[in-house]
């Protein structure tokens, strides 16, 4: 099976000036395009991308449907806006907001139950990599994050985001990124079988830009990119999409 490339823009706590050029320039791409704005602009962006090739995702969500969770958003709220994708377990949620693997797993399982395309993020810190513990860290994040999913893997996407590369300007070399993506695919095979592992899309995230995306996407096990800073300027995001499509053909 040929895995279709996904280019996803995570705006984090930022807004972009104009999404229309992203919509206009990418009507007939042979890949998937996703944007994930802040919660306050999901409705506005949904109106803009409706009936276009650009898909819409949320950056986070709570696992409960409702209740006394001040400041949180439920899957039901996202569903009412027509949201299709959700990012779970981004490194900033793990390391800034102290979300545990167990809590992340609850959100993953609820997202799949609700029919969302669920992007599970995994990644190691610089300390963990320097201590040669990074593969053990990723294996643990995968085992707990994917626990209890059973036969519902068709809506799971994994994003490998080394924490030391996010927003730092540092990027894993294509060799190192491919090594980790291959490792992730092997671990998914152990959890869910070879067929699931062959089909699942694994994205790379961590200072992805126009000048490094080509070599990253040329690797056998890298199926797209989860992009932060470079997704905030449409001309850069569009250029990355153009490059990715040439790889995808």
> Residue 249: its pLDDT value, please?
56
pLDDT at 209: 93
pTM confidence score: 0.96
- Say how far apart CA 226 and CA 165 lie, in whole Å: 12
Handedness of CA 12, 16, 22, 24 (dihedral sign): positive
Predicted local distance difference test score (pLDDT) of residue 152: 87
pLDDT, residue 151, reads: 81
Indicate which residues carry an active-site annotation: 90, 161
Q: Mean pLDDT of residues grouped by 10 in the chain (249 residues)?
A: 90 94 94 97 96 97 96 96 96 95 98 97 94 96 95 94 82 92 98 96 94 96 96 96 86
Domains and CATH numbers, the chain: 6-248 (3.20.20.70)
- Residue 101: the pLDDT is 98
Q: What pLDDT is attached to residue 17?
A: 85
């Amino acid at each position: 099976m040929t895995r279709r490339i996904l280019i996803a823009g995570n705006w984090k706590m930022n807004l972009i000036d104009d999404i229309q050029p992203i919509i206009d320039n990418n009507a007939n791409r042979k890949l998937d395009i996703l944007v994930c704005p802040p919660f306050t602009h999901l409705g506005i962006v949904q109106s803009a991308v409706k009936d276009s090739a650009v898909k819409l995702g949320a950056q986070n969500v709570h696992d409960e449907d409702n209740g006394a969770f001040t400041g949180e958003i439920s899957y039901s709220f996202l569903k009412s806006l027509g949201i299709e994708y959700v990012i779970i377990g981004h490194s900033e949620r793990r390391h800034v907001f102290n979300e545990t693997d167990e809590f992340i797993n609850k959100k993953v399982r609820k997202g799949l139950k609700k029919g969302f395309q669920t992007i599970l993020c995994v990644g190691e810190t610089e300390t963990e990599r320097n201590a040669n513990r990074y593969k053990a860290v990723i294996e643990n994040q995968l085992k707990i994050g994917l626990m209890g999913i059973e036969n519902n893997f068709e809506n799971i996407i994994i994003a490998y985001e080394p924490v030391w590369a996010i927003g730092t300007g540092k990027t894993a070399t294509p060799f190192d990124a491919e090594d980790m993506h291959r490792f992730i695919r092997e671990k998914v095979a152990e959890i869910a079988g070879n067929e699931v592992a062959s089909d699942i899309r694994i994205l790379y995230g961590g200072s992805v830009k126009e000048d490094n995306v080509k070599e990253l996407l040329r690797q056998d096990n890298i199926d797209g990119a989860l992009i932060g800073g470079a997704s905030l300027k449409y001309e850069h995001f569009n250029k990355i999409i153009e490059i990715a499509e040439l790889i995808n053909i």
